[in-house]
Structure 1
Amino acid sequence: MSNYHNNNGPFTVSELAKMINCEFTGNGESKIVGINAIQEANSNELAFLDNPKYAKFLSNTNAGVVVVKPELAEELPENVSAILSSNPHPDYAKISNIFYADKPQVGFISDKAEIHETATLGQNVVIEAGVVICEGVKVANNVKIGANSYLAKNVEIGANTVIKNNVSIECTSIGTNCLIHAGVRLGQDGFGFAYDPANVILVKVPQVGAVKIGHYVEIGANTTIDRGSLLDTEIGDMTKIDNLVQIGHNVKVGKMCQIVAQTGIAGSTTIGDGCIFGGQSGVAGHLTIADRVMLASKGGISKNITKAGEVLGGFPAVPIQQWRKGHAVLMRLVKKK
């Protein structure tokens, strides 16, 4: 494994199993110093198996221990321990979060940061070089702000939130325990123009709303979230947004949504809780999307979706089975030619 990340190991197999409240087989005192893919792991590393595509690696893995479903543990070599889990992927993630957790933060404010006298900083904050913090900004305890980031007036950052390098934030409040990756743009102007036929011009509509980010939200690198024109743009608690996503003004995204890279959501659309949008997908403006809707990659939603849990694909988006059948028919027609 690379040396870019903090490593809190080693841990014994029994300690790792206890972390996720699972039983184990094999040598509980064997020490594990890192985590690796099942086909690459060596005798002092942990691996996991959840995807059946990788089951072929079970019988000859060199890992010291594998997080695996109980019914598959017998396929491991005799010298390989097993942590028996009904949900290997999330349990591996929990172990990994402990293994590679950052060291406790020690407060530090660079003398190359520019902080307005009216800004309020909590305890144990880290402010790196080149950061600009404007008037009225409120930064809570244990926040970290990376180099060359910009916080405009009256921005609020909740406790334990990490803001990476080169982020710009204006007209925005961010909740607790969020992670904002490098290059993110929050709270800039939404795209709003009114056509004036008398003078044949586009009149810019002032964007006087804000952005409200909930708790435990993650926003990927170079994503942009526009502030509202009148109503606020809102991102619900625990929602995870990938890199290079565009979210327009007045959009409301519910809790625990997952929005994959290069997705675009047009203004004034409301998205329910637990929705998942695949890469390069799109949602038109002024729509309402029900809870737990899933949209396949490159799909496009152009009308309201009222059925919770619906799985969609294609453009315009239709139920996924209908889209697959249509695609199959099209391929048969192409082959006939």
Structure 2
Amino acid sequence: MRKIRHSDVIKFLNENNVNFIIQNKEVVCDEYTVASLFNAIDYGFYYFSGDKFDFNIKNSLIFANKPIQSDRNSIILIKDIEVQMLYYKLLQYYYGKKSNGLIDKFTKIDSEAVIGDNVQIDAFTEVNRCIIGKNVIIGSHCKIYDDVVIEDDTIIESGSIIGTRGIAWTWNEDQSEKIIQPQLGGVLIKKGCIIGANTILVRGSLNENTTIGKYCHLAPGCRLGHGTKIGNYTHLANAVITGGNTVIGNYCFIGSNAVFRPKVKIDDSTVVGLGSVVVKNTTTAGKTLMGVPAKEFETKDKLSGMPKPKK
């Protein structure tokens, strides 16, 4: 478990010109455990953005936007900044993953690969003829194929395969043999993405790239078919699967284990419920898809289990 000192929290707030008031100074502790209210413990460091604080904890430090009735905990009352965002920024500042600039001796890198500045590549990863931007982190046991471009500040977690081939075929004249089409395209991962562990991105089929837009997050275990195009700032939760040439717009949220039929097109700001099977295009932006097969619904003002949609 990660620890954080009270003095470091205050230092961060002051350096970022945050307007705050400390309530219940008499119960301030020197050090706290970074914790979640889903697993609440004493001496924890939290944020709280709800209406009723009913957690049985003490000697903890809590970010809040409005006063909390809790004499046993120290409250940092934040003005003008949403506390979840501020809490995440603080944790990113102290604990965010940053490249160490080291390429492990047990990696295999093609002589034609172009590697940017301050790139970290961990052990037992193989990098073929590709282009990797600056400040990229590639975890252990990954495979990066030819014709892959990974832009700056992207993280590829362990066990991921980027640019493997898909399978397209047709029968020969008497249907005694399958004729395989070579997969000749590439993969483009734009700036600032996170590709979760054990994710597979199949390269484009012929003259197209499989493309991940900037600042996208793919949680572990996703499988993207050839020529899939993901817009900017889109989030795919665990184990999402897309068929070939699926198109998913900007600012979408795709729930865990969702499956997409090949060539489906999803408009911007679409929410797809977990386990849904998407078999047809959306009619307009900002809808919610749920079910098997997925049906289209109006998106609710308040959604659970996902970050707030972009306004």
Q: CA deviation at 1:25?
A: 2.3
Match of 1:56 among 54, 57, 62: 54
Shift of residue 277, structure 1, vs aligned partner: 0.8
For 2:41 and 2:59, how far apart are their aligned partners in 1? 5
Q: Does the 8 Å CA contact 2:5/2:31 hold for their aligned counterparts? A: yes
Which position in structure 1 is the counterpart of 2:240? 263
Q: Is the 8 A contact 1:239 1:258 kept in 2?
A: yes
Residue in structure 1 matching 2:131, options 138, 146, 156: 156
- Structure 1 spans left out of the alignment, 5+ residues: 106-124, 323-337
1:82 paired with 2:59, answer no
User: Structure 1 CA distance, aligned partners of 2:142 and 2:158?
Assistant: 6
Q: Which residue of 2 aligns with 1:136?
A: 112
Q: Supply the RMSD in Å over aligned alpha carbons.
A: 2.5
Cα distance in 2, alignment partners of residues 13 and 135 from structure 1: 46
2: CA distance between counterparts of 1:102 and 1:217?
A: 13
Amino acid at match of 1:315: V
Q: How big is the shift at 1:14? A: 3.1
Residues 317 and 194 of structure 1, relative CA distance in 2, 3 Å threshold: same
Which structure carries more helix by proportion?
1
- Within-5 A mapping of 1:125-274: 125-153=101-129, 155-171=130-146, 172-230=148-206, 231-274=208-251
The one-letter code matched in structure 1 to 2:58 is N
Q: Deviations over 1:130-163 (max 9, x none)?
A: 100012111111110000000012x111100111
Moved more, 242-251 or 194-203: 194-203
Tell me which moved more, 188-197 or 138-147. 188-197
TM-score (norm 1): 0.79
Gaps of 5+ in 2: 300-311
Q: Which of 65, 68, 88 lines up with 2:64 in the alignment? A: 68
Structure 1 residues 103 and 207, CA gap change in structure 2 (3 angstroms) = closer
Q: Separation in 1 of the partners of 2:75 and 2:194?
A: 34
Q: Which has the higher Rg, Structure 1 or Structure 2?
A: 1
Q: Deviations over 1:153-189 (max 9, x none)?
A: 2x11110011111010012110000111000000010
Count of matched residue positions in the alignment of Structure 1 and Structure 2:
292
The TM-score, its normalising length taken from structure 2, stands at 0.85
